Amino acid sequence: MIGFQIHQRDRAVDMATVEQFKKLPVANVSDMMSRMYAGGAHLRPMHDGTPMAGPAVTVRCRPGDNLMVHKALDVASTGDVIVVDAGGDLTNAIIGEIMVAYAKKRGLAGIVIHGAIRDSAEIGRGSFPVFAAGVTHRGPYKDGPGEINSIICLGGMTIEPGDLIIGDADGLLCVPFDITQKVYEQTVEKHAVEEKMLADIDAGTYDASWVDARLKALDCTF
């Protein structure tokens, strides 16, 4: 039935790629994607801030209903990130402490909810990555419909099953499957430049002359 389906995922980023991205700040990766991709500033870490990275298992569910999220917990493989489009609705929580404990036990890498969670204090004390848009005590329904491993969109960011999902204290980002290596190589270079800048600031040798050069190029009047 359309809108009530479970699909097989036919590709996913490999674990070697996942491990590479774990070492890089999400902000640097975003810079190398022209700052045009984001899951929405409202999707924030609800855990202790531990970085997250893994291939996406996508879920589209009716706002306030988590039946397909429960199924996704069993469909997902070790190291996967479950990414849920719950419409951004904050009326009912989609997951709570029990589902997070089960996801952790199954070896998943994290959960993203474009919607609300509950048991926020317990989740907040933990290191298992959970990103969500809000918190409410009101629990979910379990009636469906929904889809697993279809294309979803969070805050304008399109996610296909198997794409790389990364997250840290600055937020979430999807790196499309086909460009992960290119983005990684460019991000490594960007990160090295910023590390050099920080070292120069610490040493008192940082050159900020580019600011005046930029203002002059933009015809700013002094």
Binding residues: 96-99, 118-119
* Residues contributing to the annotated binding site for Mg(2+): 119
What's at 27, amino acid-wise? A
Residues 122 and 97: beta-carbon distance below 8 Å:
yes
Q: Phi first, then psi: what are they for 164, rounded to 5°?
A: -80, 130
Q: In b/e form, how buried is each residue of 9-34, taking b as 16+ CB within 10 angstroms?
A: beebbeeebbebbeebbbbbbbebbe
* Residues contributing to the annotated binding site for substrate: 96-99, 118
Q: How many CB atoms within 10 Å of residue 64?
A: 21
